[in-house]
Each structure stands twice: as C-alpha cells, then as structure tokens.
Structure 1
Amino acid sequence: MKYTDAELIKSLPNFVNNYDEVNGTKLHYVKGGQGEPLILIPGYPETWWAYHKVMPILAEKYCVIVIEMRGMGSSGKPADGYEKNNMAKDIFELINKMGYEKVHIGGHDIGAHVAFSFAANFPESTSKLIMLDTPHPDQTMYQLPMLPVLGANYLYPWWLAFNQVKELPEDLLEGRMNIVIDWLFKNLLVEKSSVSNFDKEVYEFAYNKKDAIRSSNAWYQAFPQDIEDSKTYKKLNMPVLGIGGSGYGMLEMSLSNAAIDLQLKKIEECGHFILAEKPNETAKFIVEFLE
C-alpha cells in the first residue's frame, strides 16, 4: 500500500519510522538528521507527511523528529487524554525515552497547540518554541461566530463546531473523509496545487476510519479544558517564533501576550498550510531562528 509509513519513508532518504509506548498510548514518529533535536508536530487534517517538504532542509542542521500526536496517523487512538497538556506529556515522556533533556519544539495547527502546551508545562525541557500559523486555544475562541458574517471577508470555521459533536461525524464521514479534506485544502490554500492529489490521498488513508475521525475530533472537543488550562500558564521565557500565513494576525495577537522573547514572521500570499505552500520560506525562518 503506497500510503503506509513504510512506503512513504522511501521518498525521504536517511529518515526512519519509529514507534514507542508513552503515557498510556503508542506514538509514531519519523526521525532523521544530526544535531540538536527539533521536535515537529503536525495538525488537522494531516499526518507526519505534512512536513515532508521541509524535513530534508531542516535535517541538514538538526536531528528532526516529526511526531504523530495521540489520535493521529499510526499513533494510538485511545478513548481519552486529548487535553493538550496531556498530549504535551506524551511528547515529554517520549523525549525522555530518547534521552533528550532539552529540545526545540514546533507545531502547526493542533500540533501548535501541543507544542505551546509543552513549552508552558515543561519550560525546563524547551530550548525554543516555533508556532506555525496557529495559537493555543484561549478565551477568544468563544467569540468565533456561530454563523457566517454577511459580507465579511472571513472564512467561517464551521469544522470547529462540527468536530465538537460526538459520534455523528464518524457515522457521516467514515469512508468519506475525502469530502472534508478536499474542502479544507481548497478553501485554506492560496496556491491550490501545493497540496497534490497524492498528498490528499495520504491524509484520506489516515482519517477515513471511525476511530481516526473520533480521535481527531477529540482534539477539538478538548478545547474548553485547553482554554481553562491556558489561564494558568505563565508568560513563556524561552525564545518563541511565530510564522504565519493566513493565521498571522491571530498569532500576533495571541503570542504578544504569551511570550517575552518573541519573533514574528509573515509569509505573504499564503494560506493556512504554510508547510505545503511555502516550504522553503518556512524552513529558512526556522533555521535562522534556531541559529
């Protein structure tokens, strides 16, 4: 099957698949390169494959470890534990197993939520934090409109509410996740061709089953608790980089209040999936920040 981890990894020389048990679940991660450890976490509706364009670039200087978080891809899909501070604990236990005391960590979309929570809960283990187009959930999420705003130049994020519903999404979408995946990439990309049909098939393969839909929706269903947890977090002291395409404004607003040592980089004419649309620019900003 061309969409399995074993087949996909063949296109990335010097990277290998790994699997480990931590914090009551299994995590799959892809590792390659040498140097300081750089943890990267993907978001919805993607898998570790979201980073495939930047992994070889970053691996020239860093040991790149792309982790499929709890509920994603080949990682475990337990019934609970999707609060971002617990998912950060998954990552913390994994890096300890790998023998790292301190890492650089970054994430995109839901993965950015987990990366931020890791930095907030385990600052002594965080060298630098990279947030890609998405801030951690906070109280402003409650202000998102329940209906599209008439005449506004604003993409109504209906899936945030839809994914809150239990059981119904997996009943409706089992075997049909291509409908959602196609819609999201069509509407959240500026350069539509930057995510190929093959890329979308990789993600459909990962998300089409009931347990995959249930567990990925659980990331969203944990938002109320994530928002409460965010109220307890102190300002981050480590260097933080925010790289934004369409999400730059949200990143700027959120991180300006959350980090003391902050850099912000805007990628022009780019949608939400900056790793796919602008991989070279994104990788360049990351390398410059880490150096």
Structure 2
Amino acid sequence: MTRHVRTADGCRICYDEAGSGDPLILIHGFAQSAAVFGAQLEALAGRNRVIVPDLRGHGRSDKPSRGYRIARLAADVRELIFELGLTRVSLLGWSMGCAVVWSYWDLFGADRLHKLVLVDQSAMLVNRKGWTLGFLDPDQLFRQSDAIRADYPSWARGLTDLIAAGLPDSRKELLVEESLRLPTEAADALLFDHCANDWRDVIPTITVPTLVIGAKQSPVPADAMRWIASSIAGATLALFEMGHFMFIEEAEDFNRVVGDFLASAESHEERI
C-alpha cells in the first residue's frame, strides 16, 4: 500500500508498507526508489512491518529544489519514524542508503533503533592516502559532477552498466528509467555530498546489533564490508556470490539471511 508523510520543510515522502510486527525500514540507494526492493517487501513482511520510502527527489516523492544532502535524507527518515510513531525500528540501507543510516546514527544515535543492516557500501567512497577501499579517486569526483550536468541520461546508463552488470538488459533499462526520475540538479548535488562524506569515525560507535552484507562480484570491494564488520562490535558479516544488486540476483538467500538476523540475536561471523 502506498502512503505518504510530509516533512517539516514541506516535502512529501511516499512509502510502501506491508506486514506487521517490529518495523523494518528499507532505504534505497542513489537515484533508485522503493521499487528496487520489490523482492523484499512481501517476503520480509511475514514477521515485520516493512516500510519502504522513496527518498526525497526519488521515485514518487516530491522533488524540491533543496535538501539533497545525506544529513537531510537521514532527517527525513527520522521524521517518517516519528510521524508513524515507530519504536524498535530496524534500518536496512543499501548502497547510498548505508550513508543515510550512518548519518542517522551520527545525528540521533540509538533512539528508537533496534537493529541495522548495512548492504554493500564503503565507509568512504573517495580513495586517499591510507584508504583504498573506495570507489573513486579524488579528481573523479569532480569529473562525475561535470558528466552528470553535461548528459545525465548517458551518465546514468554508464553507472547502471557498472553496478548492475549481472542483471538482464531489460532490468537495467528499468533502473535507468528510475534514475532519471531524480532531477539532474538534485543528482549532482546529492552524489557530490554522498561521495564527500567519510563515515570511518561514525561506524565504530554503532552499538546496536548489525548485519553487514557484501557481494563478491560487486564494484564495492568485499574488504570494504569486512572493514565495516570488524569496526562494529558483535557485527555479523554475510558475503553473497553475485553483485551490487544481490538482493535481486540472490533474492531468496538474501531474504533468508536478513529475516534470520531480524528474528534472532547474531554473533560476529563471516558467511560465504
């Protein structure tokens, strides 16, 4: 069922919802939407109230001229939680959604949170001296901004080809179409902010039970996910065989691993 809440700055945030029980909020990545979690919404609703928002500027949500920063997206999630009166909330962030989760933790701590699931996102996207688990070199960040402004559709197709290599062309085209629902100016501002953040000081402060998920064929290095798991006390690490969209490519296994984690306490271990 599609519903919406309105944030303090007037942005309408649309979301899908299914199931009952402890709430689980699924947070999508850059230039995607709730639609990407089609294989999770009902599958995880057997034991949880699953809520899947379109972040501001994305999907069906409003596209204001401001607010395209990770911290604002985290505040939007906070407002969604309060508007719905949620407690014991588990947050699952995929790709940029992890940055939204980390920002939420940085700003609001453990208030109303129960568990975290962090899916395939490096703690810092830009490589620098002493850090090689990112996605870009520093000069590439500015080139990405120029490329988005010059030809956003072509840039979106190039990104999709890179991160969704294991998906069929028909599915890739749907991902591109979804990407283009995010306005060009918003895409440029949000990606720059996303890539400029360094969460390495925040991640070790997480104290709630956390599941970290990576993928062996993803552009995000598996070692980046190992670093995150080793930085959070008691975290569980699961590595899937496929790529960045492992929750589509290996949906049944993904849903089982996430569902089992949400249903019970987990110890630190690596699953292959």
* Shorter-chain TM-score range: 0.7 to 0.9
Question: What is the CA distance between 1:181 and its match in structure 2?
Answer: 4.2
Q: In structure 2, what is the equivalent of residue 132 of structure 1? A: 119
Three-state SS of the structure 2 residue aligned to 1:57 is coil
Measure, in 2, the Cα distance between the counterparts of 1:121 and 1:77.
Answer: 24
* 1:169 paired to 2:148: yes
Measure, in 1, the Cα distance between the counterparts of 2:140 and 2:16.
Answer: 28
Deviations 1:255-280 (A, max 9, x none): 422x2221100102x11111221111
Question: What is the CA distance between 1:185 and its match in structure 2?
Answer: 3.7
Q: Check the 8 A contact 1:83/1:225 in 2, yes or no.
A: no
Report matched runs for 1:95-244 at 5 Å.
95-122=81-108, 123-137=110-124, 141-143=126-128, 160-165=141-146, 169-173=148-152, 177=153, 179-189=154-164, 191-193=166-168, 197=170, 199-208=171-180, 212-223=183-194, 226-227=197-198, 231=201, 235-244=205-214
Instruction: Give the partner amino acid of 2:112.
Output: S
Question: What is the CA distance between 1:114 and its match in structure 2?
Answer: 0.5
Name the CA shift for 1:263/1:232 in 2 (closer, same or farther; >3 Å): closer
Greater CA drift, 200-209 or 53-62: 200-209
Three-state SS of the structure 2 residue aligned to 1:124 is coil
* Match 1:282 to one of 247, 254, 257: 254
Q: In structure 1, what is the equivalent of residue 225 of structure 2? A: 251
Question: What is the CA distance between 1:116 and its match in structure 2?
Answer: 2.3
Three-state SS of the structure 2 residue aligned to 1:164 is helix
* 1:53 paired to 2:39: yes
TM-score, normalised relative to structure 1: 0.76
Q: Check the 8 A contact 1:186/1:192 in 2, yes or no.
A: no
* C-alpha RMSD of matched pairs (Å): 2.8
Q: Which ranges in structure 2 are unaligned for 5 or more consecutive residues? A: 264-272
Q: Check the 8 A contact 1:110/1:219 in 2, yes or no.
A: no
Q: In structure 2, what is the equivalent of residue 4 of structure 1? A: none
Q: In structure 1, what is the equivalent of residue 270 of structure 2? A: none
Question: What is the CA distance between 1:281 and its match in structure 2?
Answer: 1.4
Name the CA shift for 1:230/1:93 in 2 (closer, same or farther; >3 Å): farther
Deviations 1:181-222 (A, max 9, x none): 4433433345332xx51x44443443336x622213322221
Name the CA shift for 1:100/1:155 in 2 (closer, same or farther; >3 Å): closer
Measure, in 1, the Cα distance between the counterparts of 2:41 and 2:209.
Answer: 22
Superposed structure 1 runs of 4+ greater than 6 Å apart: 154-159
Question: What is the CA distance between 1:239 and its match in structure 2?
Answer: 0.6
Q: Check the 8 A contact 1:47/1:203 in 2, yes or no.
A: no
Name the CA shift for 1:170/1:42 in 2 (closer, same or farther; >3 Å): same
Measure, in 1, the Cα distance between the counterparts of 2:140 and 2:8.
Answer: 29
Q: Check the 8 A contact 1:47/1:72 in 2, yes or no.
A: yes
Instruction: Give the partner amino acid of 1:32.
Output: A
Q: Which ranges in structure 1 are unaligned for 5 or more consecutive residues? A: 1-15, 145-153
Deviations 1:139-184 (A, max 9, x none): x72429xxxxxxxxx987897544434xx624523xxx2x444433
Deviations 1:89-122 (A, max 9, x none): 1101111101113300011111111122223333
Three-state SS of the structure 2 residue aligned to 1:186 is helix
Q: Check the 8 A contact 1:206/1:212 in 2, yes or no.
A: no
Name the CA shift for 1:202/1:19 in 2 (closer, same or farther; >3 Å): farther
Name the CA shift for 1:239/1:155 in 2 (closer, same or farther; >3 Å): closer
Measure, in 2, the Cα distance between the counterparts of 1:220 and 1:41.
Answer: 16
Corresponding pairs, count = 252
Seq. identity, %? 22
Q: In structure 1, what is the equivalent of residue 30 of structure 2? A: 44
Measure, in 1, the Cα distance between the counterparts of 2:228 and 2:157.
Answer: 29
